[in-house]
Amino acid sequence: MRNLILQQTPRDLDEIPNSPNSATVTRGSGEVFLKEFRRSNFGSIDAFLSRRPEFTSIGKHAIARVLLPYESEAQVLDSHPDDNWHRPLLDAMDAPWDSLHENAVAFITFNYDRSLEFALIGTLSARFGRPLAEARHLVGKLKIVHVYGSLGSLEPGRTDHVPFGGGATPAPYLFQAAAGIKVVPEGRDDSPEVQRAQSWLTAAEALCFLGFGFDPTNLRRLGGPSVIGAGGRASGGSTRGLLFAATAVSLTPQEVTDAIGAIAQGPFHHSVRSGMLNMGCLDLIRSTNVIRAAED
């Protein structure tokens, strides 16, 4: 996302003062923000905003501005077979319509986009021949939490509604989408979203990290070394039997070691290491039994 934000022009970001919710942003802030973000040499916008909170408002608008155009229906539903990890997930979740919401799977996402929900809604609507409104209602019953908020609700009629795929010209929805974002400094360890995520992890019998960056702040908010140590307690299971898998694409051996130390208590380091694989999301799902664990 860093490169996409830095491709914005100061004029793009100077549109922000038109919003009454951004009264602290002044003309010319776009140029200053882009210059400081570029010079900071941070790899992520969240890391930058954690040190420069005075840019939080313009930073969130920049995030919304670059993400909305990338919410593409074609990209989600017509992705290349080698990239489409939603398909095996939905196959594993398959059940009669009236009991689909009882699936044991829970989703904890640090992403702001709504591609997961959109994929679930569109696919379930087509598979069962149900109206999109019914599919949205069903997906709303599933366990999905955006730890740092999202670009808005997919439910038409809600005050925070932002249509998916409507961001090719993001201006009509920019301020609404930005309002739903919480950057890392704003995310509280005791927020309802974080508490919900921690409770789901505690009850988990299988954990699957897809495209996760293992940021220290995010890991701490999930529970730190107790993420693995707590798994299975609520269901009476054994932590040693917890199934774990994670994508570790491009991570060095030391970075893998650091990630393991951040999520697993000492006795479980070996089993965690064996589950961190240098492969993409789809290959990880195909190479492990992690998404079918609840069925076994």
- The Cα–Cα gap between 168 and 271 comes to 44
| 18-22, 108-112, 220-224: least confident range | 18-22
What's the pLDDT score for residue 13?
83
What's the pLDDT score for residue 241?
65
Residue 235 pLDDT more than 50? no
Residue 19 pLDDT more than 70? no
CA 119 to chain centre: 14
What's the pLDDT score for residue 146?
95
How high is the mean pLDDT of the chain? 83
With beta carbons less than 8 A apart as the criterion, state whether 152 and 165 touch: no
- What the block records as the tokens of 284 is 């990880």
- The Cα–Cα gap between 135 and 226 comes to 35
Question: pLDDT band at residue 230, thresholds of 50, 70 and 90?
Answer: low
- The Cα–Cα gap between 208 and 247 comes to 8
With both helix axes pointing from N to C terminus, report the angle between 115-128 and 86-93 in degrees, rounded to the nearest 10: 50
Better pLDDT: 276 or 170? 276
**Interval 232-243 mean pLDDT:** 52
Q: What is the pLDDT of residues 69-82, one digit of tens each?
A: 888 887 777 766 66
Alpha-carbon distance values, 110 to 71, 80, 183 (Å):
16, 24, 10
Q: What is the pLDDT of residues 131-153, one digit of tens each?
A: 999 999 999 999 999 999 999 99
**Interval 2-17 mean pLDDT:** 82
**Interval 210-219 mean pLDDT:** 88
Render the burial of 95-104: b for 16+ CB within 10 Å, e for the rest. eeeeebeebe
- The Cα–Cα gap between 101 and 256 comes to 35
- Smallest Cα–Cα separation from 69: which of 19, 113, 21, 20? 113
- What the block records as the tokens of 212 is 């996760």
Question: pLDDT band at residue 267, thresholds of 50, 70 and 90?
Answer: low
Better pLDDT: 229 or 110? 110
pTM of the entire structure? 0.85
With beta carbons less than 8 A apart as the criterion, state whether 59 and 33 touch: yes
Alpha-carbon distance values, 173 to 6, 76, 179 (Å):
21, 20, 10
